[in-house]
Amino acid sequence: QKEVEQDPGPLSVPEGAIVSLNCTYSNSAFQYFMWYRQYSRKGPELLMYTYSSGNKEDGRFTAQVDKSSKYISLFIRDSQPSDSATYLCAMITLTGANSKLTFGKGITLSVRP
């Protein structure tokens, strides 16, 4: 079992839909939780990060973490064609002051106009 499992894709939704992207993890040592967005032929860019259970909102994006269930989600409201990209959940373990960022496999989202 991989440390981070992400719902398989691809996912195609109409413009304006609410999108829910999910990941589960098995390593209790993960302390920080992130979502990255990767456009085709580009590097991943940080979308949101959090370290506590609960919700964190940023514009149309909401990140949700449930540490007791080892489950994180990203919700995208009023999805736009420009949201079409691969979304990767990622989690950090800390060893002293050094970190390691572990990614899920990513899900490709397509938002149809």
What are the residues binding other proteins (CB under 8 A)? 31-32, 34, 38, 41-46, 49, 51, 86, 88, 92, 94, 97-103, 105-106, 108
Q: Least Å distance between CB 41 and other proteins?
A: 8
Quote the least distance from Cβ 23 to other proteins, whole Å.
13
Closest CA to 94 of 47, 28, 3: 28
Nearest CB to other proteins, comparing residues 62 and 102? 102
Nearest approach, Cβ of residue 10 and other proteins (Å): 11
Q: Which residues of 54-90 are buried (b: 16+ CB within 10 A; e: fewer)?
A: eeeeeeebbbbbebeebebbbbbeebeeebbbbbbbb
